[in-house]
Structure 1
Amino acid sequence: MKLMNVLKLLVVATMAMTAAEAIWLELPSSGAKCVYEEIRNNVVVLVNYAVIVDNEPDKPKFIPDISLKVISPFGNKLHHEENVTRGKFGFTTTEPGYYMTCFFMNSQAPNGKSVHIGLDWKTGIAAKDWDSIARKEKIQDIELVLMKFQAWVQAIHEKIVYLEKREEEMSEVSERTNAAVAVFSGMSLSLCILAAATQIWYLKRFFRKKKLI
């Protein structure tokens, strides 16, 4: 029993470091409201959303509809919906980078009431349906906890590897930028020296013609 409690605590602590968050957005009357997250390649993303309006108790409940779209780092449209008030969708990333989800108002709320969106955004292991997995494979509680813990550890390891790779890429970009700046600085200094030497030569020639030197 103590082992089970310890394992559950480890899983909860690991889950706290993973991407599963609820977001509360206020939509503007015009334009779009977007959220984005940097996600590595081949990661499952599940999103649940619902439009929420501050209606008065004695007034009929009115929920304006919205449109939404999901855009990949390379500008590909992964998901698109129109005239909706709630729903859910999912996708698997095919390229690393920032994935953006934008919401648009289609109709106005009465009396200028604020319109919000409740957004439940889950990625990676947090998007798995562990209850269905346990029922399908007939896994006991302790086995399920161990499986969760192993999956979370693997996810954290992959995240660390991804961050290390990004750090290496950024270091390479920084080194190339520094090298380019050094070359440009050297060229600028050479041009300045050449311009100064040319000016001195021209002035000497001019003064000699005028027999001033």
Structure 2
Amino acid sequence: MAENMISRPRLVAVLSTMVFLCLTGNNNFVPLAEAIWLTIPSSGTKCVSEEIQNNVVVLADYHVIDDANPQHPSAISARVTSPYGSNLHHNENVTVGRFAFTTSEAGNYMACFWLNSNQQPSAGTTLSLDWRIGITAKDWESVAKKEKIEGVEFDLKRLGYVVQAIHDNLVYLKSREADMREVSELTNSRVAWFSIMSIGICIVVSALQLWHLTLYFQKKKLI
């Protein structure tokens, strides 16, 4: 009987390995960084935004792909702003660029791109934007070299960051839900008071009209 029993440390190790394999086998649980493609209009600005919570690392690389003139692609300008309009990145007359920052406030961070006005616009101007946030912006190769870890230990280390990122995101969503609920309750309270005031005003106006008509009829000796 005792020979068939599994020790507690071994059981924990087996369960941890199974959970790790399940999570890494399903990409839906692990956030991935994917490049997006933007077509830059000949006039105007193309913008993308991302809602990011506070104290999150953001890293992005972008480069121009000009199908009409691949050897000499059109130059663009780029600007990244915070939710309150602060400039986090500004670059002009470039075909390749990078921006990196750590968010200091939660909200929508916006990146805008446009063609320079001093050149002939190309109809095939496309921008590749590789936008990474949180754990996807982390240099895992440097982490592995610095901490001298590899293999399963490295994967478990990374999985720990993934779990922490998911937890932080859930906490952020919970706080947003609480804020929205507070706003909703405040709005409902104001609507209720406005309804009561409207009914009160209608009653007062009706009473004044009745009083005025009574005086008018008495003056005319109709009643």
TM-score scaled by length of structure 1 = 0.90
The offset of 1:29, in angstroms, is 1.2
In the TM superposition, what are the counterparts of 1:40-189 in structure 2 within 5 Å?
40-55=53-68, 61-107=71-117, 108=119, 112-189=122-199
Give, in whole Å, the separation in 1 of the partners of 2:199 and 2:52: 43
1:40-97 deviation per Cα after TM superposition (whole angstroms, max 9, x unaligned)? 00000010101111227xxx73311111111101111111111110121211000011
1:127-173 deviation per Cα after TM superposition (whole angstroms, max 9, x unaligned)? 01111111122112111000011100010000001001100000000
Instruction: State the AA in 1 paired with 2:78.
Output: L
How many pairs were matched up?
208
Q: Is 1:18–2:28 an aligned residue pair?
A: no
SS of the equivalent of 1:25 reads: strand
Give, in whole Å, the separation in 2 of the partners of 1:80 and 1:36: 16
SS of the equivalent of 2:74 reads: coil
Alpha carbons 2:40, 2:114 under 8 Å: kept: yes
Match of 2:8 in 1: none
Q: Structure 1 residues 134, 149: CA separation in 2 closer, same or farther (over 3 Å shift)?
A: same
Instruction: State the AA in 2 paired with 1:44.
Output: V
Question: Which residues of structure 2 form unaligned runs of 5+?
Answer: 1-13
Instruction: State the AA in 2 paired with 1:83.
Output: N
Give, in whole Å, the separation in 1 of the partners of 2:150 and 2:96: 35
Question: Which residues of structure 1 form unaligned runs of 5+?
Answer: none
1:85-127 deviation per Cα after TM superposition (whole angstroms, max 9, x unaligned)? 01212110000111011111105556x4221111101000010
Q: Structure 1 residues 17, 179: CA separation in 2 closer, same or farther (over 3 Å shift)?
A: farther
Alpha carbons 2:68, 2:124 under 8 Å: kept: no
% of aligned pairs identical?
Answer: 52
Match for residue 34 of structure 1 among 23, 27, 47: 47
Give, in whole Å, the separation in 2 of the partners of 1:206 and 1:29: 73
The offset of 1:7, in angstroms, is 3.2
SS of the equivalent of 2:41 reads: coil
Give, in whole Å, the separation in 1 of the partners of 2:216 and 2:27: 80
For the aligned residues, what is the CA RMSD?
2.2
Give, in whole Å, the separation in 1 of the partners of 2:62 and 2:148: 31
Q: Is 1:200–2:210 an aligned residue pair?
A: yes
1:170-204 deviation per Cα after TM superposition (whole angstroms, max 9, x unaligned)? 00000001101111111111111111111111011
Alpha carbons 1:11, 1:148 under 8 Å: kept: no
Match of 1:7 in 2: 20
The offset of 1:15, in angstroms, is 6.6
Instruction: State the AA in 2 paired with 1:13.
Output: N
TM-score scaled by length of structure 2 = 0.86
1:11-31 deviation per Cα after TM superposition (whole angstroms, max 9, x unaligned)? 353675526231111111112
Match for residue 211 of structure 1 among 197, 200, 221: 221
